[in-house]
Amino acid sequence: MTRRELIPARAAASAAFFGNGFGIGIWAAQLPRFKAALGLSDGQLSLGLLAFSIGAVALMPIVGWAVTIVGSRAATLASAFAFTLTLLLIGLAPSLPLFIAAALLAGGCNGTMDISMNTNATVVEKAWGSAIMSSFHAFFSLGGLAGAAISGLLIALGLSISGTLLVACLGMAALFAATAFGMMSEAKPTHGGEGHGFALPRGPVVLVAVLAMFCFVVEGAMVDWTAIYLQTVTGADLQAAVTGFAAFSLTMTICRFLGDAVVRALGRTRTVQLGGLLAAAGLSLAILVPQPVPATVGFALVGFGLANVVPVLFSTAAQMEGIPPSVGVAMVATLGYGGYLTGPPLIGFGGDLFGLRAMLGVLIVFSITIIILSQRALRPSAVQFSATRPK
Averaged pLDDT for residues 26-30: 86
Return the ∠ at Cα 232 (arms to 364 and 293), rounded to 5°. Answer: 65
Question: What residues contact 69, with CB distance under 8 A and at least 6 apart?
Answer: 189, 191
pTM: 0.76
The reported pLDDT for the residue numbered 171 is 95
The per-residue pLDDT for range 167-189, each reduced to its tens digit, is: 999 999 999 999 999 998 876 54
**CA-based nearest residue to 159, from 20, 341, 26:** 26
Mean pLDDT of the chain: 84
pLDDT tens per residue, range 312-328: 888 787 677 776 666 67
Residue pLDDT, tens place only, 60-90? 767 767 777 888 899 999 999 999 999 999 9
| Range of weakest confidence among 167-181, 225-239, 324-338 | 324-338
pLDDT per residue as tens digits for the range 154-166: 888 889 898 999 9
d(CA 135, CA 14): 8
Domains of the chain plus CATH, in order, are 3-180+196-388 (1.20.1250.20)
Assess whether pLDDT exceeds 50 at residue 193.
no
- Would the pLDDT of 283 be above 90? yes
51 pLDDT more than 80: yes
Side-chain-side CA neighbours of 257 within 13 Å: the count stands at 9
pLDDT, residue 19, reads 96
